[in-house]
Amino acid sequence: MVRLNYIDDDPPVLVKLINRKRGSEKEAYAYADTGSDSLAIPRDLWLDLDLGFSNRAVISTVGGTATSWYSHLDVELLGERHKSVMVFYQEEGDVLLGRSVMDRYRLTFDGPNKTLEIEK
Q: CATH assignment of 2-119, given 2.40.30.170, 1.10.10.10, 3.40.50.720, 2.40.70.10?
A: 2.40.70.10
Q: What is the pLDDT of residue 92?
A: 92
CB 17 within 8 A of CB 28: yes
User: What are the domain boundaries of the chain?
Assistant: 2-119
Count of positions (residues) in the chain:
120
pLDDT, one tens digit per residue, over 22-80 is 999 999 999 998 888 899 999 999 999 999 998 998 887 778 888 899 999 999 999 99
For the chain, the 3-state helix, strand and coil shares in percent, each to the nearest 5, are: 10, 60, 30
Q: What is the pLDDT of residue 12?
A: 92
Q: What is the pLDDT of residue 62?
A: 79
The long-range contacts involving 56-62, CB below 8 angstroms and separated by at least 24 positions, are 57/88, 59/88
pTM confidence score = 0.88
End-to-end CA distance of the chain: 7
